[in-house]
Amino acid sequence: MSDYSINTKCVQGGYTPGNGEPRQIPIIQSTTFKYETSEAMGRLFDLEESGYFYSRLQNPTCDMVAAKIAEMEGGAAAMLTSSGQAANFFALFNICESGSHIVSSSSIYGGTFNLISVTMAKMGIEVTFVDPDCTEEELEAAFQDNTRAVFGETIANPALTVLDIEKFAKAAHAHGVPLIVDNTFPTPVNCRPIEWGADIVTHSTTKYMDGHGAAVGGAIVDSGKFDWMAHADKFPGLCTPDDSYHGITYAEKFGIGGAFITKCTAQLMRDLGCVQSPQSAFILNLGLESLHVRMPRHVENGQAVAEFLEAHDKVTKVNYSGLKSDKYYEIAQKYLPNGGCGVVSFELKGGRAAAEVFMKNLKLAAIETHVADARTCCLNPATSTHRQMNEEQLIAAGVPSGLVRMSCGLEDKKDLIADLAQALDKI
């Protein structure tokens, strides 16, 4: 598959049926797998042979879909997880432990921010957050001797900042640690972070990859390029024997392209069990088959809506990296030449009160906390996700009370703009 374009990988990657086998990927709805002898199963437990024994660790349906996502991102190996949260936690925790430190962009999804700054802090893992637009010197200053990973989002949810992946990769590699990039918003159709130096890519497949708001899920892709053994002192979990697997050293036994995902499956999935169900993986695959057709339409609608809003006198500011006026336009031209995604945010004149009237009068765009599926939806963070904050805190968090986030779906852009126009008229 590796010679084919991303479009073909979306449709046919990950699964090639043999003679007389099902054309669509089979849903292997089985918790367990049968063996003729205990020795045969024992070899699987020892990781001496690959195969399936229990769906908490691996399931064939999930693995077919993971293999497709690995091909799409240009990675060496991948695994599915129960959610995007689990994907980011596993990707970080696979190489961090109590006493480790993470350098992270401050402009990331709220759930991930909380995961790193609160929950992982309780596990003894420290973090330094940096502005994604910081200088190389400022980024450099964030590293410590115990830094084990650098984290950022290609297009941040909800701030819509665009990450300078090369700048972050260069800093990470200068310190002998990998760059982990959450590529949920652009998807590999619009950006493949590994081509720009990222080592691990994560996804909330709940968003555009599924694309229909049907199944929660996540994915982790390893580029297979980071040389763990060259920095063995930093990554003992990968580079020294694992007592829970008879002394296997993952980086030796599974090599540069297999160690990360094998350890993540054999240890973290075994012990924490955040698996995706084969049913969800099947639904995710249906979404992936049309991702390359849907993403350009999300971008077309996002661009049209952003341009309409920018010209409207009741709108004071629009954030969308496809607009020439946007702070991230130049960097988006580099990393997202075909556009980013369908999510736009904008500020209304008249703050909270204007936002309330506007939201109430929308007919097509539903009020939802979700983003990135086929149906357009809107959210006013000040009255929903961020409602515990006062006006000052809202401004500090970059979500002034009149800010609306709109996720443009796959409807006709004329209808979306007409809906916006009539709701803006009511203010």
Q: Could you tell me if residue 144 is left (phi over 0), alpha (psi between -120 and 50 degrees) or otherwise beta?
A: beta
Q: Is 401 in the site for ligand PLP (CB under 6 A)?
A: no
Q: Is 152 in the site for ligand PLP (CB under 6 A)?
A: no
CB of 370 to ligand PLP, least distance (A): 8
Cβ-contact 283, 214 below 8 angstroms: yes
Instruction: Tell which one of 218, 278, 342, 409 touches ligand PLP (CB under 6 A).
Output: 218
Q: Is 206 in the site for ligand PLP (CB under 6 A)?
A: yes
Choose one: 106-114, 241-249, 250-258, 292-300; the region binding ligand PLP (CB under 6 A).
106-114
Q: What is the DSSP letter of 228?
A: G
Instruction: Tell which one of 94, 190, 204, 376 touches ligand PLP (CB under 6 A).
Output: 204
Q: Would you state the structure tokens that stand for residue 378, as one six-digit string?
A: 């809107």
Tell me the helix, strand and coil percentages in the chain, rounded to 5: 40, 15, 45
Q: Would you state the structure tokens that stand for residue 322, as one six-digit string?
A: 């496809």
Q: Would you state the structure tokens that stand for residue 401, as one six-digit string?
A: 């009370």
Q: Is 216 in the site for ligand PLP (CB under 6 A)?
A: yes
Nearer to ligand PLP, 204 or 262 (CB): 204
Q: Which residue is nearest to ligand PLP (CB)?
A: 84
Nearer to ligand PLP, 204 or 401 (CB): 204
Choose one: 62-70, 199-207, 247-255, 336-344; the region binding ligand PLP (CB under 6 A).
199-207
Q: Which residues contact 285 (CB under 8 A, 6 or more apart)?
A: 14, 25, 64, 65, 68
Calculate the CA dihedral of residues 381, 387, 392, 397 and round it to 10 degrees.
Answer: -50
Q: How far apart are CA 129 and CA 159, in angstroms?
A: 15
Nearer to ligand PLP, 223 or 280 (CB): 280
Question: Three-state DSSP class for 74?
Answer: coil
Sign of CA dihedral 97, 99, 103, 107: positive
Q: Is 223 in the site for ligand PLP (CB under 6 A)?
A: no
Q: Is 90 in the site for ligand PLP (CB under 6 A)?
A: no
Cβ-contact 1, 12 below 8 angstroms: yes
Q: Is 255 in the site for ligand PLP (CB under 6 A)?
A: no
Q: Is 153 in the site for ligand PLP (CB under 6 A)?
A: yes
Q: Is 315 in the site for ligand PLP (CB under 6 A)?
A: no
Q: Please give the residue ranges that form the binding site for ligand PLP (CB under 6 A).
A: 83-85, 109, 111-112, 153, 157, 182, 184, 204, 206-207, 216, 218
